[in-house]
Structure 1
Amino acid sequence: MTIKERRGVAEGRVRAAEDAVTRLKEGFSSIGITLPSLRIDPVSCAGDDPVAPLVDLGRCNLDTALRLSVVLEAQRSAGHEE
């Protein structure tokens, strides 16, 4: 694979990570949860070949963590009812 092809793949992965961050923000927002530091990890995108950009879910306060756990538990329970 040429350098140009690798950069194209890397750019696609970064765009996919950006899309994932947008979708996560929208999804969390729809249930009233905001993760203020949700973002792409810039260190994982450094250099010419970021093959695996990381999504940093970030830090949140205790209230947000508890709300997330309630949502996840509700989803898990709903999945067992089917």
Structure 2
Amino acid sequence: MVFVETFEDFEKAAERVYLNAPMKTRCVMKYDHSNSSLQVKVTDNTVCIQFKTDSQQELKKLEKLIGNLMKHMASGER
């Protein structure tokens, strides 16, 4: 497992993981109420990347990224 430091690096890595194995990729989100932070993990069982944030601005970016990934996953596009 690798924690990615910046959102931009996480976004690129998440898209790369999905494009390399679209049928195996999954995304998991976990909210930590005590720290008010969100942790996101994208994995294909070979590569696992994680990102953790408590920034409202990064949460909005994550929402958009996850929405785009889910749209691709639901439509079957590569």
TM-score (norm 2): 0.36
Structure with more of its chain in strand, by fraction: 2
TM-score (norm 1): 0.35
Structure 1 or 2, whichever has the larger Rg, is 1
Structure with more of its chain in helix, by fraction: 1
